[in-house]
Amino acid sequence: MNNEEVIARLKSVPPVAVSHDLAPEILAKVKNRRTVRINFWRLVIPLAAAATVALLLGGMWLAGAKPSDSGRQAVEWLSRTQEADGSWSTARWGGDKHFEVALTSLSLITLLDEPSSPTTAGRRQRLEIDRSIQKAISYLVRNQQENGQFGELFSSAPYNQGIATLALAKAYETRKDESLRLALNRAVSAICACQHADGGWGYHQEVRPSSNLSVTLWQIEALRLASALGWPQVRPNVERGFRWMAGVAADNGSFGYRTSGDTAGGASPTLTAMGAMSLLDPAHMGLVTPGRRQAIKAQVQRLAATPGPDMDYYRRYFLAAALKKMDETPSNGGLASLRRDLLSQQVKRGKEAGSWKADTQWGSAGGRIYSTALASLALR
Amino acid sequence: MPLSDHTDSLPDPDVQLMLETAAGSETAFAELIRRNQNGLLNFFTRMGVYNDAEDLVQETFVRVWKVRGKYRPKAKFSTFLYVLARNVWADRGRKAKRFERLEGSLKTDAEIGGGKTVPLPAGGLDVQEALGRLSTKLREVIVLNIYQGLQYQETADVLGIPLGTVKSRINTALQELREFFNE
């Protein structure tokens, strides 16, 4: 056998092909992981200006809040307030007891998303966070039934299901643990089993089941991450969900629960922020026409230009996420003012330092856990 | 013996796509992925990765995106891409070794990780076994030059070794493969 024959033998093996187009998943990943590219002069000039101001104001600048401090304080507050069983209590922090699974899941997502600090204190805090994370995961797994459902069955249980599945998927992303994989597998199956024929998801036990954007969004977010983590079979479910959601968008880019304007007072800013966050994802660019996409972006800009201290935390979180998908940087535009508002409203002193008051819409359902988790995530 | 050391003077469309990607175009990046995803998948499988080869393809493109601002079209795009892919493959090997040490026993590829397994092509077991017997240094020159179609100089650039070393390694590898196939 000569060299040519060896090469022919090597080449006799046909090439393999990818199981599906990887581009949408990779685009979603780079969007999620996108780091702010720091231009040296852009960094130095504001820092120099800030240092000058700090000197002039006698160090007052140093006392001011920064997002990194804010995130650390929020995480500390969450770690401090976690119950021994790994949950966060609505009896202590407000909110509807039915949603304890969802609130524990939101806290878990917040802890998982907290970046590590390289300092010694940061490493110590990381260990504490890791312990909290493990306790929260155990709580969720303990509260999952054989059929994958989290907590008890009631009308709004799909919120628990979607948010808990998303939290477990985020945990599985970094902890490839077999028991976690099994729990996630059951949770994913439970979500898929409840998808409506039109592609959306809605409340349980409805006489006439109808899909609902808010419920659908959490299920899609959970399935979307799961599909990237080893459950490719759910991609058709995700696609159908997105298609249903795209159908909710009005020509002017606003959203409602089922159609734009189906909430009291016309189109809902919060639901518009939720729909925009999902449909502005580059992986789903083809689901809406370029004109509709522009209209959605215009709605996001309009919402960001009209901030207010009474803005609910759902809206702030999804609006921040939508603005990030529109490539806004934290230092300018609507995202900057949204962050400023959030930083100014974080409790600075006392027992509740690091948290946010639950004094806006849905505060009665989610309490201080909901406001703190979503405010902290909006600042990331 | 020509192998794949051909020259071509046609413009490299991937370079144009990469330049657009560097300028921030996600559409160009998606097209770049689609044009190269199968090539990369084959690179990883021929380097002996079956269990999470698609994950490594994804990781390679994530790295392409991260360093897009530093890209300069000095060479063919494939040179740039395979430098990153080889780093991803090497990192994966280091992680697998750490995992094996933790487990205290040697695991087979299929037992490591939880990713999607790429099926082996039918009839290719002897070739895979032959490639598996080569040292990493010999295997990577064969994979890059013969399978992925990189020229000698490109292979040298990807591996960071002299051109003469590439040629001698290819000859040694072919000799070892010939002995294996003659067994």
* Residue contact A18–B142, C-beta within 8 A: no
> Along the 380 residues of chain A, how does pLDDT read in single tens digits?
788 888 998 888 888 888 888 888 899 888 766 544 444 445 555 666 665 555 455 434 433 445 568 888 999 999 999 999 999 998 899 888 889 999 999 999 999 987 765 565 677 777 888 899 999 999 999 999 999 999 888 888 999 999 999 999 999 988 888 889 999 999 999 999 999 999 999 988 777 788 999 999 999 999 999 998 889 899 999 999 999 999 998 889 999 888 777 765 566 888 999 999 998 887 776 788 888 888 999 999 888 888 666 788 989 999 999 988 887 666 667 888 888 889 989 998 888 999 999 877 777 778 899 999 999 999 98
With b meaning 16 or more CB within 10 Å and e meaning fewer, what string describes B20-32? bbbeeebebbbbb
- A235 touches A20 (CB < 8 A): yes
* Residue contact B33–A11, C-beta within 8 A: no
Please state the pTM of the whole predicted model: 0.58
Is residue B113 within 8 angstroms of chain A, CB to CB?
yes
Terminal-residue alpha carbon distance, chain B? 24
pLDDT at A49: 66
Percent of chain B past pLDDT 70, that is, above it, reads: 77
SS3 of chain A? CCHHHHHHHHHCCCCCCCCCCCHHHHHHHHHHHCCCCCCHHHHHHHHHHHHHHHHHCCCHHHHCCCHHHHHHHHHHHHHHHCCCCCCCCHHHHCCCHHHHHHHHHHHHHHHHHCCCCCCHHHHHHHHHHHHHHHHHHHHHHHCECCCCCECCCCCCHHHHHHHHHHHHHHHHHHCCCHHHHHHHHHHHHHHHHCCCCCCCCCCCCCCCCCCCHHHHHHHHHHHHHHHHCCCHHHHHHHHHHHHHHHHHCCCCCCCCCCCCCCCCCCCCHHHHHHHHHHHCCHHHHHHCCHHHHHHHHHHHHHHHHCCCCCCCHHHHHHHHHHHHHCCCCCCCHHHHHHHHHHHHHCCCCCCCCCCCCCCCCCHHHHHHHHHHHHHHHHHC
Torsion of CA B90, B94, B97, B99, to 10 degrees: -120
- Confidence check: pLDDT of B104 > 60: no
DSSP assigned state of B40: H
* Residue contact B58–A22, C-beta within 8 A: yes
Please give, rounded to a whole number of angstroms, the shortest distance from the CA of A106 to a CA of chain B: 26
- A314 touches A283 (CB < 8 A): no
Measured between beta carbons, the chain A residues lying within 8 angstroms of B130 are 10
Q: Which helix (H) or strand (E) holds B117?
A: none
Measured between beta carbons, the chain B residues lying within 8 angstroms of A231 are none
Instruction: Output Rg (C-alpha) for chain A, integer angstroms.
Output: 22
pLDDT at B152: 93
- B44 touches B57 (CB < 8 A): yes
CA distance B30 to A283: 9
Nearest chain B residue to A36 by CA: give it.
B66
Is residue A120 within 8 angstroms of chain B, CB to CB?
no
* Residue contact B116–A19, C-beta within 8 A: yes
CA distance A202 to A157: 10
DSSP E strand stretches across B68-167: none
Measured between beta carbons, the chain B residues lying within 8 angstroms of A6 are 174, 177-178, 181
DSSP assigned state of B2: -
* Residue contact A11–B38, C-beta within 8 A: no
Tokens of A273: 């922020």
Beta-carbon contacts of A351 under 8 Å, excluding residues fewer than 6 positions away, are none
Measured between beta carbons, the chain A residues lying within 8 angstroms of B128 are 13
pLDDT at A362: 73
pLDDT at A150: 94
pLDDT at A58: 42
| pLDDT tens digits for range B13-51 | 888 889 888 888 888 899 999 999 999 999 998 998 876
* Residue contact A15–B33, C-beta within 8 A: no
DSSP assigned state of B111: G
Please give, rounded to a whole number of angstroms, the shortest distance from the CA of B142 to a CA of chain A: 9
- A371 touches A360 (CB < 8 A): yes
* Residue contact A23–B33, C-beta within 8 A: yes
Please give, rounded to a whole number of angstroms, the shortest distance from the CA of A37 to a CA of chain B: 9
Tokens of A377: 């995530």
DSSP assigned state of B20: H
Q: Which residue type occupies A219? A: Q
- Confidence check: pLDDT of B109 > 60: no
> How many CB atoms sit inside 10 A of residue B7's CB?
6
Is residue A153 within 8 angstroms of chain B, CB to CB?
no
Which of A16, A18, A30 is nearest residue B121 as measured by Cβ atoms?
A16
CA distance B91 to B110: 18
**Residues 230-259 (A) with a CB less than 8 A from some CB of B:** 230, 232
With b meaning 16 or more CB within 10 Å and e meaning fewer, what string describes A26-57? bbbbbbeeeeeeeeeeeeeeeeeeeeeeeeee
Q: Give the Cα-Cα-Cα angle B168, B79, B95 (nearest 5 degrees).
A: 85
B34 HSE (CA, 13 A, CB side): 11
Which of A10, A16, A30 is nearest residue B41 as measured by Cβ atoms?
A16
Tokens 């590898």 — which residue?
B173
Beta bridge partners of residue A150, listed in sequence order: A144
- A26 touches B58 (CB < 8 A): yes
Which of B69, B119, B124 is nearest residue A13 as measured by Cβ atoms?
B124
- A314 touches A362 (CB < 8 A): yes
pLDDT at B148: 92
* Residue contact A13–B128, C-beta within 8 A: yes
**Residues 33-92 (B) with a CB less than 8 A from some CB of A:** 33-34, 37-38, 41-42, 45, 54, 57-58, 61-62, 65-66, 69
CA distance A169 to A108: 11
pLDDT at B138: 94
Measured between beta carbons, the chain A residues lying within 8 angstroms of B38 are 15-18
* Residue contact B41–A11, C-beta within 8 A: no
CA distance A244 to A240: 6
SS3 of A334-372? HHHHHHHHHHHHCCCCCCCCCCCCCCCCCHHHHHHHHHH
Please give, rounded to a whole number of angstroms, the shortest distance from the CA of A257 to a CA of chain B: 30
Measured between beta carbons, the chain B residues lying within 8 angstroms of A281 are none
Which of A7, A18, A21 is nearest residue B146 as measured by Cβ atoms?
A7
Q: Which helix (H) or strand (E) holds B57?
A: helix B53-66
Comparing B67 with A281, which gets the higher pLDDT? B67
Tokens of A281: 């994802």
Which residue out of B58, B125, B148, B170 would a mutagenesis test of the A interface target, given it has the greatest number of A Cβ atoms within 10 Å? B58
Q: Which helix (H) or strand (E) holds B180?
A: helix B163-182
Please give, rounded to a whole number of angstroms, the shortest distance from the CA of B30 to a CA of chain A: 5
DSSP assigned state of B52: S
Comparing B74 with A42, which gets the higher pLDDT? B74
